Amino acid sequence: MTMALPAPRARARLSATPGQIALALGIAVFLALFLVWPSATVIYVAFTEKGGGAFTLVNFADFFRTDLFLRSFWNSFYVSAMAVAGASILALPLAYITSRFAFRGTALIQTLGFLPLIMPPFVGAVAMQLFFGRNGSVNLLLDDAFGFKIPFMEGLNGVIFVQSIHYFPFILINLSAALRNIDASMEEAAQNLGSSGFRLFRRIVFPLAMPGYIAGASLVFVKVFDDLATPLLLNVKDMLAPQAYLRVTSIGIADPMGYVIAVVLIVASVAAMALSALATRGIDYSTVQRGGGGLARRKLRPYESVLAYLTVMLILLLVLAPHAGLLLLSFSTVWSFSPLPDGYTISHYARIFGESSLYIKNTLIYASLAGLIDVVLGTAIAYLVLRTRLVGRDMLDWAASAALAVPGIVLGIGYLRAFYGVKLWDGTPLASWIVIVLALATRRLPYALRACYAALQQISVSLEEAAENLGATKLRTVRRIVTPLMMGGMLAGFVTSFATAAVELSATLMLVQSNSDAPLAYGLYVLMQSAAGRGPGAALGVIAVLLVGVCTVLSHFVIERGRAMPQAGH
């Protein structure tokens, strides 16, 4: 072999293999078609003249000239802010008690933390009417005993009440995690320098936990702002999401006002998220120090203990009210103007499993397909972002996560506009159940993506390099090393997507074209509209809660097991 070859030569460094490029393009096409295009359509229509194609701000001017819309905007804002306040009132004591004290009820509080989430808020709304409505159990009893009623559920109050109870876990979970991540040495250093008690809490603990609280609060704000079904079921129409829905369904798909409202919803969502990101920038220290087992916990004195248990019990009662109400309703013959149902029956369940089993079957199919799509896309995006140097890979991640900022109703309107009348190759209209699955998959992709991302991030790159070093190609390494190690995270991602897609209504409410294509949440919504349908609706609701509950427990179990499995190679 001759050594006379010119040794130094520039080698073109390929940023990725052809397979990776094809994968990235495929994902990009999916996101463009099913997220960007529908959302862009909505924005486009809002800014163009009706009938013509010219750019105009006239629609927005109309929006701000119409009292109803201005009132709706203000109401949405007011309800969201009050719901954040209500959720904080429920979450703060719980987070404080569990993180600062050796409290036996900690497991109980952790259960509280996810109980509300397994029930769609609009389902809980009906049950809450029965307990807290004008003629609900509580007010009937109050009226009997003291001669007055409390308007828990009147108008906007009802929405605030239901949403606070439903969404407080977001604050509880985020705040507890933030408190857990504070290194005990932070507190000890302050004590060593002479600080204690409330001053210590105010000057050290609270600032360190602030980012967690803000993250949770902004999430609650956005969720409440975008929610469609809860106000609709409580018959509150002068809020933004219901207005958008009513414009599109009653006046028509061509009416620009629905689109304008959708744009306002998007702007509000993005603004709330941007504000929270801005507020936490520079004060999020969680990555600076390594967790040292959290803050020291002090034993409660007897009277404190009683106080703590009372607080927890009160919140537990509130949290369980929708569940209990739903269960009672599903077994009751008639329940109105009385604290408890007049009689009990199981006929509602018989009816649900008879004629309404279609809803359940549809939901299982849609949610499974959506979960599957999400896990495949989530894994692929995570791999491209974390393991390749493909140009624009961060854009994929960013685009997929942007689905979080698109309210369900906006996506629903966008799908309707973009895919209405589109036919597949065999003549079936795209705007059938397929569109519902795609909408669900797009909506839930960020959840699955984060789960897959976290799972892949935990796998040390050297585990893959070792496989390549021993002769395995990239594809075989993915199959034999990456996939088995990511399995837990992928499963958790699937279950999260599945469980949340199973009770999604905002996006699907508009996309259901025929009753035979309807998922469970839609059926629930339709049934709950009429007094006669409330019993069977409640039965369907119980089934939905069970479905989501089982999934949540399952995913919790999977994640815990994944955590328990020691990871070599770190």
Partner 1 sequence: MTTATANRAIAVPAVGVRIEQVNLSYGDNHVLKSIDLDIRPGEFFAFLGPSGCGKTTLLRLIAGFNHADSGRVLVGEKDISALPPWKRDIGMVFQSYALWPHMTVARNVAFGLEEKRVPRAEIGPRVTAALELVGLTGLDQRRPAQLSGGQQQRVALARTIAVEPKLLLLDEPLSNLDAKLRVQVRRELRELQQRLGLTTIFVTHDQEEANTVCDRIAVMNQGVIQQVGTPKDLYEQPANLFVANFLGTANIVEGRVIGDGASRAFEVAGGLKIPIAADRKLAPGARMVFRPQDCAIVGAGQSAGPDRTEAAGTVTYREFLGASVRYGVRAGTASIAVDCPFHAGDTLHEVGTAVTVAIATSSVRFLSD
Residue with tokens 């009683």: 306
Would you say 301 or 479 has its CB closer to partner 1?
A: 479
Can you spell out the DSSP letters for 127-179?
Answer: HHHHHHSTTSHHHHHHHHHHS----TTSTHHHHHHHHHHHHHHHHHHHHHHHH
Site residues (vs partner 1, CB under 8 A): 1, 3, 7-11, 13, 460, 462-463, 465-473, 476, 480-481, 484-485, 565-570
Closest approach of partner 1 to the CB of residue 47, in Å: 41
Would you say 159 or 455 has its CB closer to partner 1?
A: 455
Hey, how many other C-beta atoms are within 10 angstroms of the C-beta on 497?
A: 31
Can you spell out the DSSP letters for 74-93?
Answer: HHHHHHHHHHHHHHHHHHHH
Closest approach of partner 1 to the CB of residue 20, in Å: 13
Would you say 532 or 568 has its CB closer to partner 1?
A: 568
Amino acid symbol at 454: A
Closest approach of partner 1 to the CB of residue 85, in Å: 46
Would you say 62 or 560 has its CB closer to partner 1?
A: 560
Would you say 223 or 387 has its CB closer to partner 1?
A: 387
Closest approach of partner 1 to the CB of residue 488, in Å: 10
Closest approach of partner 1 to the CB of residue 293, in Å: 22
d(CA 141, CA 149): 9
Residues 205/295, Cβ–Cβ less than 8 Å: yes
48 - beta bridge partners? Answer: 55
Would you say 94 or 490 has its CB closer to partner 1?
A: 490
429 - beta bridge partners? Answer: 423
Closest approach of partner 1 to the CB of residue 407, in Å: 40
Would you say 292 or 569 has its CB closer to partner 1?
A: 569
Closest approach of partner 1 to the CB of residue 474, in Å: 8
Closest approach of partner 1 to the CB of residue 460, in Å: 6
Would you say 7 or 531 has its CB closer to partner 1?
A: 7
Residues 355/533, Cβ–Cβ less than 8 Å: no
Coil, strand or helix at 512: coil
- Reference 318, options 546, 112, 142; nearest CA is 112
Closest approach of partner 1 to the CB of residue 568, in Å: 4
- Reference 229, options 444, 503, 445, 446; nearest CA is 503
Would you say 35 or 467 has its CB closer to partner 1?
A: 467
Element (H, E) at 299: strand 298-299
Can you spell out the DSSP letters for 343-410?
Answer: -B-SHHHHHHHHTTHHHHHHHHHHHHHHHHHHHHHHHHHHHHHHH---TTHHHHHHHHHHGGGS-HHH
Residues 102/242, Cβ–Cβ less than 8 Å: no
Torsion of CA 177, 182, 183, 186, to 10 degrees: -170
